[in-house]
Amino acid sequence: MRTGLIKHSQYMDFLRSVPSFQSLPEDILSKLADVLEETHYSDCDYIIRQGATGDTFFIISEGQVKVSQQDSPGDEQVIVKTLTKGDWFGEQALKGEDVRTASVTAVGDVTCLVIDRELFKQLIGGLDDVNNKQYDSDEVKANVQAEADFFSR
Ligand code: CMP
CATH code of the domain covering residue 63 = 2.60.120.10
Closest C-alpha to ligand 1, atom 6: 90
Give phi and psi for 6, each to the nearest 5.
Answer: -70, -45
Average pLDDT score over residue span 55-65: 98
Q: Is residue 131 part of a domain?
A: yes
Distance CA 15, CA 138 (A): 30
- Distance from first CA to last CA of the chain, Å, rounded? 56
Closest C-alpha to ligand 1, atom 16: 135
> Does 63 sit in the ligand 1 pocket, CB within 6 Å?
no
CA of 7 to the centre of ligand 1 (A): 28
Does ipTM surpass 0.90 in this model?
yes
Q: Is residue 32 part of a domain?
A: no
| pLDDT at residue 19 tops 70 | yes
| pLDDT at residue 125 tops 90 | no
Ligand 1 atom closest to Cα of residue 139: 18
Average pLDDT score over residue span 33-58: 97
Q: Is residue 16 part of a domain?
A: no
CA of 4 to the centre of ligand 1 (A): 32
pLDDT band at 38 (very low <50, low <70, confident <90, very high): very high
Ligand 1 atom closest to Cα of residue 94: 3
Top mutation candidate among 135, 136, 139, 147 for ligand 1, by most atoms within 8 Å of CB:
135
Give the domain range for residue 131: 38-152
Domain count, the chain: 1
Q: Is residue 120 part of a domain?
A: yes
Q: Is residue 49 part of a domain?
A: yes
Q: Which secondary-structure segment (H or E) carries 16?
A: helix 5-17
Q: At what angle do helices 26-35 and 5-17 cross, to 10 degrees?
A: 120
**With the C-alpha atoms ordered 8, 12, 14, 15, is the resulting torsion angle positive or negative?**
positive
Q: Which residues of 124-153 are buried (b: 16+ CB within 10 A; e: fewer)?
A: bbebeebeeeeeeeeebeebeeeeeeeeee
pLDDT at 141: 61
Q: ∠ at Cα 32 (80, 68), nearest 5°?
A: 10
